[in-house]
Amino acid sequence: MSTQPVAAESAVAEAADDGRHRTAVPLLAIEDLGVEFRTRSGTVHALEHISFTVGKGETVGVVGESGSGKSVLFYAVLGILDAAGRVTGGRATFGGLDLTRARPDELEEIRGREAAMIFQNPRVALNPIRKVGLQIEDVLARHTSTVSADLRRRAIEALAAVRIPDPERRYHAYPFELSGGLCQRIMIAIALACSPSLLVADEPTTGLDVTTQAAVMDLISDLARTRNMATVLITHDLGLAAEYCDRIVVMHAGHVVEVAPTAQLFSNPRHPYTAKLIATTPHGSTSLRSLAAIPGNLPDLRRSDLPPCRFSERCERVQPGCSEPGLRLTEVAPRHQVACRVLS
């Protein structure tokens, strides 16, 4: 077993070596990223030493319990952390630009055009008092050179591309007139209007019934394939990630604990937390049973005495060495990294 920590270069090389990537070039390289929030009750150490890559055209799942930092990670990457949050270190290189040091105008240019995000709650993310067709036009007008005479046609095409029935009529609808599934499709249409090379889909199927969930996921996956668009699927649902993702990043309490190609993660999970997650996912189902089956809770991220392994206080395999500082993701097999002193 190699014990090389995942450095910037090896993270990129790991993506470049990936035989399952549709192309070999990493589009996004997150390296040693940290984020904290200053709050009245203390500093929340929300993310620490986050490192992984997303290749062009690749679909990467980011899974973990509620509060593990999945959303905050991509808010930090896209420069939309709220005012209490700040990046404490590291980089997120997208198309050659470190987004953590990019100017607001550079970030504005990238968001919506090059990298788009579908937020956790589509009804909140959509403007409730603007027709959905006009919301798509707004994005096209801001981020593309579409002339005003063509905006409406392009917006209707965008609605048709996400298979919204009767797009000419739906163009005039307000979000409250549409079902949850249709609102989610509108969010996808807005996100994809400018043909981004990266789509971050944050729990895109939460709150939808099972049939609509499958339709939305199939739509995202078809569009990603036909446009060679990289996709990050943020989800609690390990089964969903297994079905749609090339690789999976497992997060726990603000750390990445394991990264592996999907089949390898399921056949040979190395981190005790990943092994527990898989054990609590019913076989053949796409829904994660209660994560309460994993003993203990996430530690309070405001603690000043957080251990190097934030899973150690829940881990059945904990050893004295687990409290030694310097824990990092380590290559345990080709393209398979784990942050654990006691490899399972």
Binding site for ligand ATP (CB under 6 A): 37, 39, 44, 46, 64, 66-72, 82, 84-85, 120, 236, 301
Which of residues 3 and 66 has its CB atom nearest to ligand ATP in the complex? 66
Q: Shortest gap between Cβ of 64 and ligand ATP (angstroms)? A: 6
Q: Shortest gap between Cβ of 294 and ligand ATP (angstroms)? A: 15
Which of residues 249 and 332 has its CB atom nearest to Mg ion in the complex? 249
Which of residues 63 and 162 has its CB atom nearest to Mg ion in the complex? 63
Which partner in Mg ion, ligand ATP, none is near 37 (CB below 5 to 8 A by kind)? ligand ATP
Q: Shortest gap between Cβ of 121 and ligand ATP (angstroms)? A: 10
Which partner in Mg ion, ligand ATP, none is near 301 (CB below 5 to 8 A by kind)? ligand ATP
Q: Shortest gap between Cβ of 249 and ligand ATP (angstroms)? A: 12
Number of residues that bind Mg ion (CB under 5 A): 1
Which of residues 71 and 93 has its CB atom nearest to ligand ATP in the complex? 71
Q: Which residue is nearest to Mg ion (CB)?
A: 71
Which of residues 71 and 330 has its CB atom nearest to Mg ion in the complex? 71
Which of residues 168 and 300 has its CB atom nearest to ligand ATP in the complex? 300
Which of residues 10 and 71 has its CB atom nearest to Mg ion in the complex? 71
Which partner in ligand ATP, Mg ion, none is near 236 (CB below 5 to 8 A by kind)? ligand ATP
Which partner in Mg ion, ligand ATP, none is near 195 (CB below 5 to 8 A by kind)? none
3-state secondary structure the chain: CCCCECCHHHHHHHHHCCCCCCCCCEEEEEEEEEEEEEECCEEEEEEEEEEEEEECCCEEEEECCCCCCHHHHHHHHCCCCCCCEEEEEEEEEECCEEHHHCCHHHHHHHECCCEEEECCCHHHHCCCCCCHHHHHHHHHHHHCCCCHHHHHHHHHHHHHHCCCCCHHHHCCCCHHHCCHHHHHHHHHHHHHCCCCCEEEEECCCCCCCHHHHHHHHHHHHHHHHHHCCEEEEEECCHHHHHHHCCEEEEEECCEEEEEEEHHHHHHCCCCHHHHHHHHCCCCCCCCCCCHHHCCCCCCCCCCCCCCCCCCHHHCCCCCHHHHCCCCCCEEEECCEEECCCCCC
Which of residues 18 and 202 has its CB atom nearest to Mg ion in the complex? 202
Q: Shortest gap between Cβ of 323 and Mg ion (angstroms)? A: 29
Q: Is position 235 an interface residue for Mg ion (rule: CB under 5 A)?
A: no
Which partner in Mg ion, ligand ATP, none is near 64 (CB below 5 to 8 A by kind)? ligand ATP
How many Cα neighbours within 13 Å face the side chain of 96?
Answer: 0
Q: Shortest gap between Cβ of 220 and Mg ion (angstroms)? A: 17
First to last CA, the chain: 13
Q: Shortest gap between Cβ of 122 and ligand ATP (angstroms)? A: 14
Rounded-to-integer distance, Cα 35 and Cα 76, Å: 7
- The dihedral built from the CA positions of residue 116, 110, 90 and 333, taken in this order, carries a sign that is positive
Q: Shortest gap between Cβ of 138 and ligand ATP (angstroms)? A: 26
Q: What is the radius of gyration, based on Cα positions, of the chain?
A: 20
Q: Shortest gap between Cβ of 179 and ligand ATP (angstroms)? A: 22
Rounded-to-integer distance, Cα 217 and Cα 245, Å: 11
Which of residues 71 and 146 has its CB atom nearest to Mg ion in the complex? 71
Distance of CA 82 to the CA centre of its chain: 18
The one among 51, 68, 71, 135 contacting Mg ion by CB under 5 A: 71
* Residue ranges that bind Mg ion, judged by CB under 5 A: 71
